[in-house]
């Protein structure tokens, strides 16, 4: 089941012997980190095991939102919105970013009160967000019969094209001097006196003084090989896109049964607002305790499944040698089979509330694995036990929108510059230093 078509980025041929920083992973987080570092004059090599942006970063819904974020992410997301505004100019390419507004509908008065009180998180950021009554929603979307108590409308939120953004950022990083290597898995890190001295890729070694692991759903496997415990779960979300359709909403809309976004091609990306699948895999047992609170708070939106993925991951080596092929070479692109039932049900529910979608034609379906942490916010952090090693991962279903700012923050940490926002909430050590792990908002 191929994923969406992603703007191709052709990898560079020559493997450098040495550089300042190796970035592992060519999703939006790795590409944004590489761009920031290259713009600061560092010699950067980005290694991607498959193609740029082919996993989560091209399979997502395209929402660039601050609305309803975990308050700990809000300052970084405010910075991200500012960066998105200038990203086309900065990269010299089209990322499809547009501040088209996002509406979260609320089915009950309790939800409405919760969304209204969430707005206080925006006070420091001068970002417009207001409540809509059911009547006002009806006036905005005549013909809609979606029942609701009201909605939260954030006109400053936006959308972008997931199949274009990471490639645009990677090309911009290359224009600033970064080397971009595709089909080049990193098998491991090398240390000297306990600190990073290089990486081993499938094409050979690269010496470097710093490494950023931005490996998405693979980060836990990679870091586990080097004794770093990174609790991570994979949650599968299924998506469909329609052919171009006239007369549908311009704004991005979340409702309990569907989430929709108008794409640049005039079609819509449609998914369920609340249905995800968790494949039970060996890591599920390893991290069950760490994830118990999030599983409790999210259980309504999760379907657990024991299937082929369990055995795929059971067969996957966890302790490979540097002179043998690593699991990353055997899995160039994580491409799960979408749940047709979940995606099609979302479209049917959408058509029941917005009749214009009754004539929507499905162009494609796909799925992606979301990498989730126990508190559903990312790790953007140095690794204390290995000086020079850094991790930017675990974006828990919200990494596309925040990606450009996460790259900036990671680059600040790598270079020792004052961080663009306080990174304390994102430190890796929170999972091992006895800190209370709090879930504020879900996946």
What is the smallest separation between the CB atom of 246 and ligand FAD, expressed in angstroms? 24
Q: Which C-beta is closer to ligand FAD: that of 35 or that of 186?
A: 186
Q: Which C-beta is closer to ligand FAD: that of 56 or that of 284?
A: 56
What is the smallest separation between the CB atom of 164 and ligand FAD, expressed in angstroms? 13
What is the smallest separation between the CB atom of 174 and ligand FAD, expressed in angstroms? 16
What is the smallest separation between the CB atom of 202 and ligand FAD, expressed in angstroms? 8
Q: Which residue has the tokens 């270079």?
A: 415
Task: Name the nearest CA neighbour of 403 among 165, 171, 218.
Answer: 165
Bridge partners, residue 201, by sequence: 186, 204
Task: Name the nearest CA neighbour of 123 among 162, 184, 74.
Answer: 74
The residues, ordered by sequence, that sit 6+ positions from 45 with a Cβ below 8 Å of its Cβ are 16, 19, 21, 22, 23, 178, 179, 181, 206, 208
Q: Which C-beta is closer to ligand FAD: that of 216 or that of 267?
A: 216
- DSSP character at residue 18: B
278 and 236 in contact (C-beta within 8 Å)? yes
Q: Given CA atoms 238, 243, 249, 251 in this order, what sign does their dihedral have?
A: positive
Site residues (vs ligand FAD, CB under 6 A): 24-30, 47-50, 54-57, 59-63, 185-186, 214-218, 222, 237, 239, 328, 368, 370, 393, 395, 397-401
CA torsion, ordered 410, 416, 417, 422, to nearest 10 deg? 60
CA 197/CA 202 separation, integer angstroms: 17
Q: Which C-beta is closer to ligand FAD: that of 136 or that of 257?
A: 257
H or E segment at 417? none
CA 396/CA 176 separation, integer angstroms: 30
What is the smallest separation between the CB atom of 340 and ligand FAD, expressed in angstroms? 15
Q: Which C-beta is closer to ligand FAD: that of 63 or that of 268?
A: 63
What is the smallest separation between the CB atom of 334 and ligand FAD, expressed in angstroms? 7
What is the smallest separation between the CB atom of 304 and ligand FAD, expressed in angstroms? 18
Radius of gyration (C-alpha) of the chain in whole angstroms: 21
- Annotate 375-393 with b (16+ C-beta within 10 A) or e (fewer): bbbbbbbbbeebebbbbbb
What is the smallest separation between the CB atom of 135 and ligand FAD, expressed in angstroms? 28
Q: Which C-beta is closer to ligand FAD: that of 139 or that of 324?
A: 324
CA 329/CA 316 separation, integer angstroms: 11
What is the smallest separation between the CB atom of 362 and ligand FAD, expressed in angstroms? 16
Q: Which C-beta is closer to ligand FAD: that of 57 or that of 129?
A: 57
Q: Which C-beta is closer to ligand FAD: that of 138 or that of 364?
A: 364
CA 285/CA 227 separation, integer angstroms: 18
For 189, counting Cβ atoms within 10 Å of its Cβ (0-12 exposed, 13-18 middle, 19+ buried), the class is buried
Q: Which C-beta is closer to ligand FAD: that of 138 or that of 188?
A: 188
401 and 432 in contact (C-beta within 8 Å)? no
The CA-atom distances, in angstroms, between 196 and each of 26, 60, 122 are 20, 33, 39
CA torsion, ordered 244, 335, 440, 381, to nearest 10 deg? -120
What is the smallest separation between the CB atom of 69 and ligand FAD, expressed in angstroms? 9
Q: Which C-beta is closer to ligand FAD: that of 109 or that of 250?
A: 250
254 φ, ψ to 5°? -110, 130
Task: Name the nearest CA neighbour of 186 among 332, 49, 316, 321.
Answer: 49
What is the smallest separation between the CB atom of 413 and ligand FAD, expressed in angstroms? 16
Q: Which C-beta is closer to ligand FAD: that of 42 or that of 66?
A: 66
């Amino acid at each position: 089941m191929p994923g969406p078509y992603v703007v191709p980025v052709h990898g560079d041929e020559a493997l450098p012997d040495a550089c300042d920083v190796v970035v592992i992973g060519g999703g939006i987080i790795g590409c944004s980190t590489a761009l920031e570092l290259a713009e600061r004059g560092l010699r950067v090599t980005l290694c991607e095991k498959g193609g740029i942006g082919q996993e989560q970063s091209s399979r997502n819904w395209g929402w660039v939102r601050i609305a309803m974020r975990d308050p700990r992410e809000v300052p970084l997301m405010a910075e991200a919105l500012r960066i998105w505004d200038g990203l086309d100019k900065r990269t010299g390419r089209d990322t499809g970013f547009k501040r088209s507004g996002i509406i979260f509908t609320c089915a009950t008065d309790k939800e409405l009160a919760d969304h209204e009180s969430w707005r206080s998180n925006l006070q420091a950021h001068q970002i417009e967000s207001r409540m809509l009554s059911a009547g006002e929603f009806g006036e905005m979307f005549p013909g809609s019969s979606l029942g609701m108590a009201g909605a939260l409308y954030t006109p400053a939120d936006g959308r972008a094209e997931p199949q274009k953004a990471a490639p645009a950022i990677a090309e911009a990083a290359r224009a600033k001097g970064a080397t971009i290597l595709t089909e080049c898995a990193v098998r491991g890190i090398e240390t000297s006196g306990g600190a990073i001295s290089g990486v081993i890729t499938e094409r050979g070694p690269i010496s470097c003084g710093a490494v950023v692991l931005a490996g998405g759903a693979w980060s836990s496997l990679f870091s586990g090989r080097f004794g770093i415990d990174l609790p991570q779960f994979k949650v599968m979300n299924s998506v469909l896109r329609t052919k171009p359709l006239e007369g549908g909403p311009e704004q991005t809309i979340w409702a309990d049964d569907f989430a929709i976004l108008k794409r640049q091609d005039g079609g819509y990306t449609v998914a369920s607002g609340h249905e995800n699948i968790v494949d039970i895999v060996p890591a599920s047992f390893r991290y069950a305790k760490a994830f118990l609170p999030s599983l409790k708070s999210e259980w309504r939106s999760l379907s657990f499944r024991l299937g082929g993925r369990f055995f795929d991951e059971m067969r996957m080596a966890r302790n490979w040698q540097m002179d043998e092929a690593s699991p990353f070479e055997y899995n160039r692109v994580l491409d799960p089979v979408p749940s047709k039932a979940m995606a099609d049900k979302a479209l049917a529910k959408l058509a029941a509330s917005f009749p214009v979608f009754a004539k929507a034609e499905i162009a494609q379906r796909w799925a992606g694995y979301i990498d989730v942490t126990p508190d559903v916010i990312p790790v953007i952090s140095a690794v204390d036990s290995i000086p020079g090693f850094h991790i930017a991962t675990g974006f828990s279903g919200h990494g596309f929108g925040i990606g450009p700012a996460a790259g900036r923050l990671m680059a600040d940490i790598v270079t020792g510059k004052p961080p663009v926002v306080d990174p304390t909430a994102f430190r890796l050590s929170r999972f091992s230093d006895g800190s209370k792990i709090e879930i504020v908002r879900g996946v």
